[in-house]
Structure 1
């Protein structure tokens, strides 16, 4: 009861802030379509609402979320990946959400560092800048130089990320509120269950928990660093593990030119098109070669070293793509380029993204409406990220579940395309990675690769076969010995069918091996 009263009070305060910024518009249509009566929001508008001239709905929403504090700023960043829910323009406005808050004192930062690392600042850093270089929703960053070490007699220049005091408690309270709202929506609004509000909040909470433990962010940076070991075109900062803890992360300091500053790159003697080629190759290698990509690659997190290498910081949001998902994306793109919309529609069913109850022909028609406008157009005029977004937009019509990792991928593709066109509007960034794409497609989706994958799948089934049969035998014995008695003839049929299944599987694999050796 106390939780509900506290949540209602906080909800009223949120509605008041939304109304005062005129930020209710993005939600009104969804609420109306769901048959939801937004009584609280209505009274908030009557009491506190005002018109905000000259601002788009997404800009008003971003302003409201900024005022509500760190948890809602972070929520806005997550929502910026959900163009399928809010529309492309609102999602784009949220992507620009200023993740800036007043800095907390250097005394508080140093006190937290000493408490976390169990040592005085002077023994850790020979110098520590009192003024932070950035103050974000969850943490702030200070530049420092480490104390001398055997391989760095003058110390190392580092960036020290410090979690905000009290931020964990503040986030937990707001997440409890969001979960309470999501549970009410799922119980009372069947039309909104497809959007899985409880799952969305839990995913958000899991993301935040990772960002609250800077050891996990450091581990993400370490994994990305290892994936590009020996690649001079991409620089991921090394982690200083001796000066890293749950609420403190120390990493190699990066200096360079902002990723979207073309004039500064040219002034430094860098070839902008060469930089874009490196960026395209890096993005492709992350998403398709490794299946692990930086999930927040906006210009504020990316820079270009004076040697032309792409540099990246902030590893709180990372994305993973299973091999099956990577194959799905590759086959879908091929299907669109070959105008085989029926095949693309069938792929969605095979991947489990489209319910089998939906009409393949109707879905193929919707796919045609996306694919035909790009046919014959110059590549620099085609946005593959926007095409992916259009696919997500038709998800509701066909009761299709959009995969969160694909939304995160699309967000980063849009960011990459935006920066690319700002630097050189005549280029399509994805054509720059064409040699890598073609090589990967041949190795992973060509005829030989498909045959090898089929044989691998057969062998995998064979390897697991004895265990499966053993479990079946146990189940049959358990049922036969228990209260449920099986007819002896039925048991003989089950065993016979199991033996036949095993035999036919062996025959199929041997046949495949003879045909494709």
Structure 2
């Protein structure tokens, strides 16, 4: 099953001649493996012209399904890494993937809601408003006059995603088993996390719940508006929510035409990200440009509008704390503290010399400070950090992968809106304030009130637990001593068996040598078998017996 999916991927790559996108100077083995691509003609448009390389890549992503479309979406946000002609074409993947038929869309809605579209909606637009990799969206009006959008999961998409994830798992297992960095990078765990994330995205009730939570977090906020979910018309594969009106965040011309304060817009984007990660600990993890709009009410104090909350992320309190302190230490250029925090958090082995790690981090981070965003590439910084991580056996933290992906999206968005944004000046005060508030007496009092009932409920059990623990101490000591003796015996047995095996191999080798000394003349000079010395035969028997019965 996975094999056939792999063949499909290769066939699509060959049909669109994606070998043209590969760099020059590939190794001979790679060039030989791609030779069959040249058997396919150059793809052409409907008018007969040769298809541009950007369109080839976009169409290949569309043909192969959601995982490849999402990869194309990520590439479209990186104009610093991807040529302009390819970025322009991949921008169509944000919300302009080829739609599925309206009849199928309407059938799914009516089956899920248990009523005809005309009975539920006052009007319904047959042409899709947007068509993405996982779902398709149509506009409608409820009977009470509220403008809404209807979102439906693409039919049959689960099977395609399951095949792609299975293929990714095979590759990840191979990488983990056969490469030097396999265990450190945790590729299997990362793919398993991604599998959970992508299948969660197919459950529109989960997306609706995420949207409701995000809406509560930013209710009446001037920074971000999240549309309302209409739960009466929402099912696992159908979502009905408030229709929003705004300018796509990538439409810089329209934003400039209404005199939007682009500096304020970029700064508010950074503030929204840090607010979600550190104050709410609940962040929108799919912030590609197709999911973000800008309200038109007040261009001088622009407000973002977010849609598609299928993928969200959160951190443990420990990761949240260490991440904030790491970022703050980097802003202060306190590389010693960054190194110490990496050891304390367990992100690098405790055996690493802090001084060496400090010097390595300084080498990576120092060049990026006091530069506008247009002169900084977080992608390059991350690659440098990954190279540093490899030197110090730093393990990839799968729980931070979504956060890193979101940071890359934020960077790409910031580059398009206001390239002169100083990310450090915007983020530094926020983190200072967050850490200060974390240890404020009001915060500590709030934590005490939150957990006090649970502590009070368990407090009467504490004396019994302490008394039972004290009673068990002698038994634990005896068991530890017994376990220590067992381990010592097992080690002694293993050493004894190793010695016996070594002796047996030596005896067998010696027997083989002497046997050959007697057998060689037989083969050459026709010496009789009876002429073999008894000592040689005895030694051979001893060697074989030693190997067979060495235990």
TM-score with structure 2 setting the length: 0.70
> Which structure 1 residue ranges, 5 or more long, are not aligned?
1-5, 149-154, 488-517
1:414 to 1:59, Cα distance in 2 relative to 1, 3 A: farther
Deviation, 1:302, is 1.0
1:384 to 1:321, Cα distance in 2 relative to 1, 3 A: farther
Pick from 140, 145, 157 the counterpart of residue 144 of structure 1. 140
C-alpha offsets along residues 489-514 of structure 1, whole Å, 9 cap, x if unaligned? Answer: xxxxxxxxxxxxxxxxxxxxxxxxxx
Deviation, 1:56, is 13
Pick from 18, 24, 27 the counterpart of residue 21 of structure 1. 18
Residue 3 of structure 2 is matched in structure 1 by: 8
Deviation, 1:357, is 2.8
Residue 106 of structure 2 is matched in structure 1 by: 110
Residues 358 and 398 in structure 1, CA contact (< 8 A), matched pair in contact too: yes
Residues 183 and 198 in structure 1, CA contact (< 8 A), matched pair in contact too: yes
1:228 matched to 2:218? The reply is: yes
Residues 324 and 431 in structure 2, CA contact (< 8 A), matched pair in contact too: no
Pick from 390, 394, 401 the counterpart of residue 400 of structure 1. 394
1:390 to 1:323, Cα distance in 2 relative to 1, 3 A: farther
Deviation, 1:160, is 0.8
Deviation, 1:402, is 2.5
1:58 to 1:359, Cα distance in 2 relative to 1, 3 A: farther
Provide the C-alpha distance between the structure 2 equivalents of 1:466 and 1:78, rounded to a whole number of angstroms: 56
Secondary structure of 2:390's aligned partner = coil
1:388 to 1:283, Cα distance in 2 relative to 1, 3 A: same
Secondary structure of 2:296's aligned partner = coil
1:211 matched to 2:205? The reply is: no
C-alpha offsets along residues 72-124 of structure 1, whole Å, 9 cap, x if unaligned? Answer: 3346668999x9xxxx9479989968254321111111110111111111121
Deviation, 1:367, is 0.5
Residue 174 of structure 1 is matched in structure 2 by: 164
Deviation, 1:351, is 1.0
Residue 301 of structure 1 is matched in structure 2 by: 291
The count of residues paired between Structure 1 and Structure 2 equals: 456
Residues 185 and 396 in structure 2, CA contact (< 8 A), matched pair in contact too: no
C-alpha offsets along residues 330-357 of structure 1, whole Å, 9 cap, x if unaligned? Answer: 2222322333222211100111111223
1:90 to 1:350, Cα distance in 2 relative to 1, 3 A: farther
Tell which structure's C-alpha radius of gyration is larger: 2
Provide the C-alpha distance between the structure 1 equivalents of 2:192 and 2:9, rounded to a whole number of angstroms: 20
Residue 233 of structure 2 is matched in structure 1 by: 243
Residues 159 and 250 in structure 1, CA contact (< 8 A), matched pair in contact too: yes
1:119 matched to 2:121? The reply is: no
Secondary structure of 1:101's aligned partner = coil
TM-score with structure 1 setting the length: 0.74
Residue 325 of structure 1 is matched in structure 2 by: 319
C-alpha offsets along residues 405-451 of structure 1, whole Å, 9 cap, x if unaligned? Answer: 53433333343344334333333255345554442232236899899
Residues 240 and 252 in structure 1, CA contact (< 8 A), matched pair in contact too: yes
Residues 276 and 282 in structure 2, CA contact (< 8 A), matched pair in contact too: yes
Pick from 438, 443, 453 the counterpart of residue 444 of structure 1. 438
Residue 418 of structure 2 is matched in structure 1 by: 424
Matches within 5 A, 1:253-264: 253-264=243-254
Matches within 5 A, 1:372-391: 372-375=366-369, 377-378=370-371, 383=376, 385=378, 387=381, 390-391=384-385
Deviation, 1:140, is 0.5
The more displaced of 279-288 and 404-413 is 404-413
Provide the C-alpha distance between the structure 1 equivalents of 2:143 and 2:467, rounded to a whole number of angstroms: 61
Residues 186 and 396 in structure 2, CA contact (< 8 A), matched pair in contact too: no
The more displaced of 194-203 and 113-122 is 194-203
> Which structure 2 residue ranges, 5 or more long, are not aligned?
43-50, 483-551
Residues 374 and 415 in structure 2, CA contact (< 8 A), matched pair in contact too: no
Residues 73 and 93 in structure 2, CA contact (< 8 A), matched pair in contact too: no
Provide the C-alpha distance between the structure 1 equivalents of 2:480 and 2:411, rounded to a whole number of angstroms: 65
Pick from 63, 69, 79 the counterpart of residue 65 of structure 2. 69
Residue 336 of structure 1 is matched in structure 2 by: 330
Pick from 334, 355, 363 the counterpart of residue 369 of structure 1. 363
